[in-house]
Structure 1
């Protein structure tokens, strides 16, 4: 595919840069630039920033408008190259980590692909305005990477017409701040594995029915949570009852599409900071460490071209798994380099002894600690390799 930037993209870049420079001021500017693991800090400011972005029309770039004769969902139209231009400028100016990522990049494309027109009209405009935040209810204590093992159950509410959801989800990003959760639940009693699952939309504001418990990681942050549903009411089913597995897998493919390119822009900024630290400390003179830095650069370029290649292919069952394997291991190694290039100084943080404030991790320390999880969450490396082996290469399944 042709991925070169043209005159329209240059004009779009100038518009995006001008808007960001004008609006990324004050508390918004102070909140920006956090590395891995800082997604929930400054939650109120980040939520206000979502509304700022929505007011400027910068949420939902490139969402389809539903076809001829229909109204767009409140977003601005943008080509694929313009979406990348926006992401580049956003990363360059170190704007705040997005509180609305899950609604914009996971829920919305899924509703566009599988939802009804009524669901699209109801749920997409509030996301585009930055008013509604979403979280993802997939993983469970006994069903993490292997989503087919979910046990959260949903039964019909004969009075209201929806479902009542009971069960537990875990590693639910940003659940404390979310207004809604899309939940993979078992709606057919006695069903097993991929069968009998449905993709439900659950309001989070249900006291006594929905409980969120933060999980504090070793990085000191707690953007992940446990979520307990006790007869919580689910208003909507996306894609039809019993079709949850197809919808859930479609969502994962969307998650690792254009958003993979956007993610790599942030990776490039992190790598740049690690290289600058290596130069500043003199670590770059070590030929072994220098070779590792060069390898990180080369692998990031390879990931970019692989992501561009897969955007031009339809229905490749192995593309999402290959992408996850590539970036998970790459980012984990970058976290190791971030502390290695700083030598012994990486063991201490920027502590102000006169303030008596709690010890805070440095950016490099947080990156190192958080990236320990990169090869686990979102589908572990072992699960991704099984998917490639079984669904792409046609190798026999492992005996269970």
Structure 2
């Protein structure tokens, strides 16, 4: 008799990771790959972070930390909110997590019950809906476009709420894949709607620090009861260190702590020691952001001439989201051909929008400037030949 296989693993794959695997296999076979598919900086962790990690390995007893992390790191994260946003955060409300991915899992488990409905924008980060689905929660996709600047609005939420009550809303600003941001008025309107409706607001702020104009708004500036998710992966250039954090409302502190104790015990100790100094590396990190800005300007200049002129505003993060409906109705096949024939790896839009993403793609400009220039040149030649 066949043994049972549980249903929680029957979720969609994170397609960009499948693309990365194909790109890595091509690279391992000796072919060149230009990596515009994966959302990770092409830069190392700051020098002081690397030095702190080496010091910790040599001098610290690297074992379990408190489930919520090193007190020094939690205190430094709390100080960050006062310095960056003018918001006072009690370090007791800060939970250090194994990346933002661990943070989402803990937040969703603590805030919601099976069957609860949680709204999020489409296009949006695919792991939101896939984690929700694995936890027997119902992701409610809000179809957004240029009119909404690819962000949730009170009107869209009200419509979803009328169908059946919502328990939560996830907002990302800057967003993945579009890079759009909510201004103070938009964040205030969303948080006000959530308060009035009794709906939990979860704010993904992992791209804060990577912007090309105005400063991103922290949800805590508008709503002290919001759950804020952040990470050292993007602005701090520490993806492989698997370190993130939550800022929690008081009612969820102990539930998240109990969950974290049992699911993870604690986040990586070496990464935590290193993360303490990351907040003091802004000169180096802002230099990285200046590099992203150059890449962004290069692609915004060259992609329209190549035939990709339907682009979402990229206010922050390091992505361009392009409508390629005039070129294909199958974004996955389009991306496979592009990789096979040019060595350019990009992400198909169906990862971010399962209903309309067959007409869109995402390009990450977090890599070297030379790769962006070469990708733009090859893409223009390929589209010219294909057209």
TM over 0.5, shorter chain: no
Instruction: Determine which structure has greater relative contact order: mean sequence separation of CA pairs < 8 Å that are 6+ residues apart, divided by chain length.
Output: 2
TM range (shorter): under 0.3
| TM-score, with structure 1 as normaliser | 0.27
| TM-score, with structure 2 as normaliser | 0.28
CA radius of gyration, larger in? 1
